[in-house]
Structure 1
Amino acid sequence: MVEASGLKSGMVVMLEGELHCVASAGYHAGGGQHGSAVFARVRILKTGHIRELRLHPGDRIEEVALDHKEMEYLYADGVSFYFMDPDTFEQISLPSEIMGAYEKFLQPNMRIPVALYEGEPVSIAFPPAVELSVASAPPGLHEHATSTFKTATLENGMEVLVPQFIKEGDTVRIEVASGKYLERVRRETRT
């Protein structure tokens, strides 16, 4: 159990029988007739919905420790996403609501940490950035111009703005949360 005043971003807590991940928490020292309070934004792990809570600093909340297991993404059938444990070959499914914006970044055979609660999958711990290859990109306007961007199509069908020097076949790093270009991934060439 943890007091509401001790809530931190990233913690997983049990509220009303459902698992919630704390997105943000802040303490407000009240004044006058209003007592102090903790304001927290939590995301329901099962549905992805955000709730805003106002708690008393002394309220006790059950903190939950999740197990993380790296699993291999197999396929999706429109309703669920299927993952396999590479050690036991056991398959699990996660509802599409949990995947949300991560769906477009999933690649077959990609290994992703899956969060488990009492052996049941509840969410995924997607990496902050992924590497994708450029499927098509128009030629650059100027060879060394880096202040202007052009639209490139990635291997997953997503269009993203990239610098002029990016060409077809390059591998780029994309931020998952925003879908923005971060950098070109340089591959070492061996002779």
Structure 2
Amino acid sequence: MAALLDAINVKRKMYFEFEGAPYYCLESEISTPTARGGQTLVRLKMRNLLTRAVFDKTFKAGDKFKEPDLQMVEVSYLYSDADGSYFLDQESFDTLTLNVDMVGDALDFLLEGTILQIHKFNGNPIGLQLPQQVELAVTYTEPGVRGDTASGAVTKPAKLETGIEIRVPFFIKQDEKIKVYTETREFAGRA
């Protein structure tokens, strides 16, 4: 049987099960009462890992949660089609399929062979965890002109090999490999 967590012990970046679904804690705030006999409350900002919905909910400090049956599986990206995106489990060599809702905009960062993590809940894939940074090649960007900082902008748009467009420093050239933060979609440096 899974261990039980008290609501007061749920901290940021922890996983827990609530009403039969796995959740990820984004923020945790404890409010202690000022009056005698008042109850300690815990406000959690949490993400449902099945629906991706984010919301705030307040619990009593003693409320109990189960630890979810979550697994992180290392996979490599194979390809996508109308039915979904396909990934190869690096341990069992099974092919896992995620539908469009589960993948979201992660395809903006995925090239064939990219290694990433997939969340499994009760043995079924429910979503993926991108690496913090990915390396992508610049397929098109205007050449940078020395002294082109009069506008105050030292960045320019660049189209990457997956099709997304981000802003890069003016010294980045076409066909150069760069690192991109997957969470913020910002330039992270040269690869």
TM-score range, shorter chain: 0.7 to 0.9
Separation (CA, whole Å) in 2 of partners of 1:19 and 1:90: 23
Separation (CA, whole Å) in 2 of partners of 1:88 and 1:63: 25
Measured at CA, do residues 87 and 29 of structure 1 come closer, stay the same or move farther in structure 2, by a change above 3 Å? closer
Match in the other structure for 1:128:
132
Aligned pairs for 1:95-106 (under 5 A) are 95-106=99-110
| Misfit runs of 4+, over 4 Å | 143-147
8 Å Cα contact 1:82-1:91 kept in structure 2: yes
- The partner residue of 2:47 within 43, 47, 56 is 43
Aligned pairs for 1:74-85 (under 5 A) are 74-85=78-89
SS of 1:5's partner is helix
* TM, length-normalised to structure 1: 0.87
Separation (CA, whole Å) in 1 of partners of 2:57 and 2:188: 34
8 Å Cα contact 1:115-1:125 kept in structure 2: yes
Separation (CA, whole Å) in 2 of partners of 1:67 and 1:39: 26
8 Å Cα contact 2:141-2:159 kept in structure 1: yes
Measured at CA, do residues 142 and 124 of structure 1 come closer, stay the same or move farther in structure 2, by a change above 3 Å? same
Match in the other structure for 1:52:
56
AA matched with 1:11: M
Gaps of 5+ in 1: 186-191
Separation (CA, whole Å) in 2 of partners of 1:89 and 1:106: 19
AA matched with 2:159: T
User: What is the percentage of aligned positions where both structures have the same residue?
Assistant: 25
141-150 vs 40-49, which moves further: 141-150
* TM, length-normalised to structure 2: 0.87
- The partner residue of 2:112 within 83, 108, 113 is 108
Separation (CA, whole Å) in 2 of partners of 1:38 and 1:135: 48
Number of residue-to-residue matches in the alignment: 185
109-118 vs 159-168, which moves further: 109-118
Separation (CA, whole Å) in 2 of partners of 1:86 and 1:7: 31
